[in-house]
Structure 1
Amino acid sequence: MTRAWKLPVRLVLCGSAVAAVLTFTGSPATAAAVLLMFLVLAGVHSPLVFPRPVTAVEAQRRSAADGRPVVLWRPGCTYCIRLRIRLGRSARQLHWVDIWRDPAGAAAARDANHGNETVPTVIVAGRPHTNPDPAWVRAQLSPPV
């Protein structure tokens, strides 16, 4: 199991345990609500919420060809989740690089952030922007007027 799935799996297991205890104590409705909450948390913190990641090299190549930004991210990052959710459907237009899966992506994050793997780091036209506002990122996807 990769590091990206550890937190979601733990959330599902903990939610299942709490729901089982609540069911046996006579609160099946509460158990269902708690289990649902844990499943939603697990889903949000899983890599499934994000578009399919590519390698840093592939993302740079694609970005050079189409001009779209590259996002360096990692699963479980609250700020990455916030960016992904606030971008909505337009997130699919970006090139996402999971720094836990790609050593070159992690190196790019460290280069952009003075040795730290701070994410999300959005690279637009070769310039890194650490934890940018989602509205600004969305504006980078729009063609110039």
Structure 2
Amino acid sequence: MSTDGLSVDEGIRTLLLLMPRMVGRVKRHKVPAELQSLALAPRHLSLLAYLLFDGAMTVNELAARLEVAPTTVSLMVGELSRKGVLERREDDADRRRTIVSIPERRQGAIHEWLGRGAQAWRQALEPLTPEQRRMFVETLLAYEQALSED
């Protein structure tokens, strides 16, 4: 690929070849044995990633970040808590709020599962300027939005 730019069609051709390879490589990252029996679904990945990389947070904070209703997050948290993947506790400052976290005994396996992808993104994004990173992320978001318009 030349460094002097791409036409839209060249970019499309390159990405149409690249995306299936990327998805295939991501799918090859096996769920650690410790987590395999828990039947974790793709919808759990983003929730677990936020908790792993940003630490404990409330159901409402998770819902805002995931862009879903708090009831949806509450259902997922309940399901994952019953499986021992998450812990819930009351917020000492406000007993109406629930703080959600990954128990220490699960953090290693979840990091093993999600950490490689995070490291690959870090490697790809660090050389870019903040403006280039924003453009890249906004481009992926626009692509996702265009796919959902069917």
TM bin (shorter chain): under 0.3
Q: Judging by fraction of residues, say which structure has more helix.
A: 2
